[in-house]
Structure 1
Amino acid sequence: GCKAGKLLLQYSKSADKYFFYPRPFVPGTGERDVEWVEASGEGTIYSYTVAERAGPAFQDDAPFVVAVIQLKEGPRMLSNVRTDSPYDIKIGDKVKVYFDKATDDVTLPKFDLA
């Protein structure tokens, strides 16, 4: 997924819906026709906060934006939004995914303003 530069979501044909967070069954129905599909990586900011103070591991990044992203496919996910102007972010702003290689083993989906 993220290591390959792809944002993957689970999808159910029987329910015709995408969902996030990952699970082995379809929320609400219990069906097991779950498959992984590539998402567009596009979304809008549903809610956000600007973190002005951070723990030791993130102090150099402050202030930074933590947002709930409403993905084009429907699900919402929590992530960071990369911007030079964190106080100019607005609910409804369009975003596009990028992938942050945090370590050799961990690549995180984060977002840029579109």
Structure 2
Amino acid sequence: MADLAPDAETQPFWDGIAAGELRLQRCGDCRRAVFYPRSLCPHCFSDRLDWFTSPGTGTVYSYTIAHRAFSPFTGTPPYTVALIDLDEGVRMMSRIVGGNRVRIGDRVELKITRLGGEDSPALPCFRVRETV
């Protein structure tokens, strides 16, 4: 598990998760959001990346239901893994929690979760937003 330790580039992201928020980077030159954390903007190669707090909302781009655990952080199968298009314009892979049926196009919101209990790391997961 030592290789999963935060480094200088990812520490602000994990500090945000521990604080219950999703922190992303934004380029100071092209103003585009960036995920995963890195030292150079993948759009314009600027090194002027700043951190901001995302509302943690987005849309399900795609998903799959895993019937076999493939990571120590996944919990007991079956579970849903999805690609989430965040409202800021970046895509991230995450778990869907909360037991609701998931469909492509569903709106989702951040739900910080400890999948393996209180001793496991906090992870950014998402849940389907209730429609009114």
TM-score over 0.5 for the alignment? yes
Query: How far apart, CA to CA, are the structure 2 residues paired with 1:104 and 1:58?
Result: 11
Q: Which of 107, 110, 114 is equivalent to 2:122?
A: 107
In 2, Cα distance between equivalents of 1:99 and 1:73 = 19
For residues 12-35 of structure 1, give each alpha carbon's deviation from its aligned partner in whole angstroms, at most 9, with x where no partner exists. Answer: 131111010111011132211101
Code of the aligned partner of 1:10? Q
- Pick from 41, 44, 61: which aligns with 1:46? 61
Are residues 1:96 and 2:109 paired? yes
2:42 — aligned with what?
27
CA spacing shift, 1:14–1:97, aligned 2, 3 Å = same
Q: What number of residue pairs does the alignment pair up?
A: 112
Higher strand share: 1
Distance 1:111 1:59 in 2: 14
Once residues 48 and 109 of structure 1 are traced to their aligned partners in structure 2, the CA distance between those partners, rounded to angstroms, is 16
The Cα of 1:106 is off from its aligned counterpart by 2.3
Q: Aligned partners of 1:60, 1:104: CA distance in 2, in Å?
A: 13
Kept after mapping to 2: 8 A contact 1:53/1:59: no
Q: Distance in 1 between matches of 2:74 and 2:45?
A: 42
Partner of 2:51: 36
Match of 2:32 among 13, 17, 31: 17
RMSD between aligned residues: 2.2
Gaps of 5+ in 2: 1-15
Identity %: 37
Structure 1: where are the runs of 5+ without partners? none
Shift in Å at residue 58 of structure 1?
A: 7.2
1:6 lines up with 2:27 in the alignment: no
CA distance, structure 2, for counterparts of residue 39 and residue 98 of structure 1: 13
Q: TM-score, normalised by structure 2?
A: 0.75
Q: Name the aligned partner's letter for residue 33 of structure 2.
A: Y
Match of 1:76 in 2: 91
TM-score w.r.t. the length of structure 1 is: 0.86
